RNA sequence: GGAGGGAUGGGUGAGCGGCCGAAACCGCCGGUCUUGAAAACCGGUAAGCCGAAAGGCUUCGGGGGUUCGAAUCCCCCUCCCUCCGCCA
């Protein structure tokens, strides 16, 4: 949700910045509705003021015993009440339209975000080097099937295609990864661990930004009007709805584990084979609530926490800055971490770290009381994967594979699983 | 699924047609006292909208209704709690 006052004060400026994201965006309707709303509000306020004055006089006249004057006044007030009703009906209609309009507007890109298309993302840095093989590296799906780590065929019996099922050492590896990442963020990076509900209500997704525009991406349970979470961001963004936090408590840093569910309507292709794009995957999510002055510094820190996972696993990756046109709806700035998958000869996103500034905080009405006093301010929220496995799982197999199709486990995982290799 | 109880400011919680934007307590801020702090005492302290300001208006879970006037009465909904049923 954008700040209406900001739009009103600088409509051209905001529009220009929004159009870096999408040249078709338009503010004229918002501005027109806002003006009508304020005019109606003014009229309603005036009628109410006269009603309030009148009501006080009714009480006074009753006490004084001036009944004829009292009757005359009551008749007058009755007319005012009807007038007000008419104005209020129109006002609430305009308010609803304005709210809908505002909910459909994405966040304004930060000035440090480059313009340009998806392909023009900026590579900020590269860590490590791609492993070299003296044989053609295999796809993780081939490796996983040979090593009996995944059973996609049986998973399809239970659910549908593109729902993965981890079996045997694969299941152990996935569990170990998730637990290890959670502990890393709790013990070394100071996050508060959360194991949230996986289904959440409509408001939660309105706050996070998934709704109203991206409903087709969500699995929906109509009987209860609940949605399966596509990322724990949607859940963690709602932890403090309608609260005023004390500044001393900030930043609040949460780490959650959830499975994530995405309908992936319309996506297809050979590159989506295996664990690259699935309907259900596991993710450790990092989420910050922080004061506005520190949020961009926090974004760098957050990215660092996610990178740490890959560094400890010894996986080659790169960090990219997304251009404005590729930003998620709610994000003002996003930095992606992409891990190298030699089986496909490409980098794939395993973490997307965003500063949503006050976009989600406005929708969730999450504020803080400044230390130095004054009125409550909206917090800034940040989210980032720390990390998404499934893809991480694929990277571990592909980057550490040997000619015979076995996989050498990274040190940390070898200790957790009590074995040096898979296969 | 059935029965009952509840939702009020940063927190606890009173109010049950006009004197209520709302007692009291806690917290927080300022002051007195003190070498300093604590304690004690005194004062202040909700949020939102419009407005340059003065000020006006709104808000006691949400929506609708009764009334000149609703935190307070009526109806609907949501959520929370307790008990019963079912169940990992």
Q: What is the ipTM of this complex?
A: 0.84
Q: Which two tokens stand for residue A409?
A: 């486990």
Please tell me whether any atom of strand B lies within 7 Å of the Cβ of A82: no
Return the sign of the alpha-carbon dihedral for residues A170, A176, A182, A188.
Answer: negative
Taking Cα atoms as reference points, which of A291, A259, A271, A288 lies closest to residue A370?
A291
Which candidate in A262, A362, A363, A367 is catalytic?
A: A262
CA→C1' distance for A70 and B23 (Å): 33
Tell me the C-alpha distance between A423 and A420, whole Å. 10
Residue with tokens 């997304």: A322
Measure the CA–CA gap between A52 and A62, rounded to whole angstroms.
16
| Span CA (A74) to C1' (B73), Å | 21
Residue-level pLDDT, tens digit, chain A, 423 residues: 889 888 988 899 999 999 999 999 999 999 999 999 888 888 888 888 888 888 888 877 777 777 788 888 888 888 888 888 888 888 888 888 888 888 899 999 999 999 988 778 999 999 999 999 999 999 999 999 999 999 999 999 988 888 999 999 999 999 999 999 999 999 999 999 999 999 998 889 999 998 888 888 999 888 888 899 999 999 999 999 888 888 888 899 999 999 999 998 766 665 567 898 899 999 999 999 999 999 999 999 999 999 999 999 999 999 999 999 999 999 999 999 999 999 989 999 999 999 999 999 999 999 998 887 778 899 999 999 999 998 999 999 999 999 999 999 999 999 999 999 998
Would you kindly state where each structural domain of chain A is located, as residue ranges?
28-104, 118-422
A145/A383 Cα distance (integer angstroms): 33
Question: Can you tell me the distance from the alpha carbon of A307 to that of A315, in angstroms, rounded to the nearest whole number?
Answer: 10
Active site residue A391: yes
> Per CATH, which fold does A118-422 belong to?
BirA Bifunctional Protein; domain 2 (3.30.930)
Question: Which one of the listed residues A84, A277, A362, A367 is annotated catalytic?
Answer: A277
Whether CB of A406 is under 7 Å from strand B: the answer is no
Q: Which helix (H) or strand (E) holds A330?
A: none
Give pLDDT, residue A264: 84
Structural tokens at position A144? 């996983």
CA of A371 to C1' of B38 (A): 23
Chain A 294-323 contacts with nucleic strand B (CB below 7 A): none
Answer whether any strand B atom is within 7 A of the Cβ of A179. Answer: no
Give the bases of strand B that a protein CB approaches within 7 Å.
10-11, 18, 29, 47-51, 56-58, 64, 67-69
A95 CA from B73 C1′ (Å): 29
Is A352 one of the annotated active-site residues of the chain? Answer: yes
- The DSSP letter of residue A160 is -
pLDDT for A331 equals 96
Spatial strand order in the sheet of A317-321? A122-127, A317-321, A333-341, A346-355, A380-388, A280-290, A252-261, A192-194
Separation in Å: B10 C1' and A241 CA: 14
User: What pLDDT does residue A270 have?
Assistant: 56
Known catalytic membership, residue A277: yes
Task: Give the closest nucleotide to A242 (alpha carbon vs C1').
Answer: B47
Q: Is A250 exposed, middle or buried (0-12, 13-18, 19+ CB in 10 A)?
A: middle
Q: Residue A203 CB closer than 7 angstroms to strand B?
A: no
State residue A150's pLDDT score: 96
């Amino acid at each position: 949700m954008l700040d209406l006052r900001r739009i009103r004060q600088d409509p051209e400026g905001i529009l220009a910045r929004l159009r870096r994201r999408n040249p078709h965006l338009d503010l004229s309707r918002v501005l027109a509705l806002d003006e009508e709303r304020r005019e109606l509000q003014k009229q309603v306020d005036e009628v109410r003021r006269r009603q309030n004055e009148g009501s006080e006089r009714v009480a006074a006249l009753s006490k004084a015993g001036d009944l004829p004057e009292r009757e005359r006044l009551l008749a007058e007030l009755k007319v005012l009440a009807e007038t007000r009703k008419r104005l209020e009906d129109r006002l609430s209609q305009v308010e609803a339209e304005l709210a809908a309009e505002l909910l459909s507007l994405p966040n304004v890109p930060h000035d440090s975000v480059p313009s340009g298309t998806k392909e023009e993302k900026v590579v900020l840095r590269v860590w490590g080097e791609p492993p070299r093989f003296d044989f053609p590296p295999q796809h993780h799906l081939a490796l996983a099937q040979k090593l009996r780590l995944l059973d996609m065929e049986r998973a399809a019996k239970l659910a549908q295609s593109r729902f993965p099922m981890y079996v045997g050492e694969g299941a152990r590896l996935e569990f170990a990864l998730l637990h290890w990442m959670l502990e890393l963020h709790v013990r070394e990076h100071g996050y508060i661990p959360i194991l949230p509900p996986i289904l959440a209500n409509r408001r939660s997704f309105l706050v996070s930004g998934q709704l109203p525009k991206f409903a087709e991406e969500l699995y929906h349970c109509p009987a209860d009007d609940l949605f399966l979470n596509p990322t724990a961001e949607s859940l963690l963004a709602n932890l403090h709805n309608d609260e005023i936090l004390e500044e001393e408590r900030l930043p609040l840093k949460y780490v959650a584990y959830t499975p994530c569910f995405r309908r992936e309507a319309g996506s297809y292709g050979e590159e989506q084979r295996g664990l690259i794009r699935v309907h259900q995957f596991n993710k450790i999510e990092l989420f910050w609530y922080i004061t506005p002055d520190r949020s961009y510094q926090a974004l760098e820190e957050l990215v660092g926490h996610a990178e740490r996972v890959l560094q400890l696993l010894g996986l080659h990756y790169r960090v990219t800055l997304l251009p404005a046109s590729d930003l998620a709806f709610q994000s003002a700035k996003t930095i992606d971490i992409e891990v190298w998958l030699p089986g496909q000869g490409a980098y794939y996103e395993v973490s997307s770290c965003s500063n949503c500034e006050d976009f989600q905080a406005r929708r969730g009405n999450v504020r803080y009381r400044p230390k130095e006093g004054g009125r409550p301010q909206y917090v800034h929220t940040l989210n980032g994967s720390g990390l998404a496995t499934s893809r991480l799982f694929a990277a571990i197999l592909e980057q550490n594979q040997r000619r015979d199709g076995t996989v050498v486990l990274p040190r940390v995982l070898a200790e957790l699983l009590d074995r040096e290799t898979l296969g």
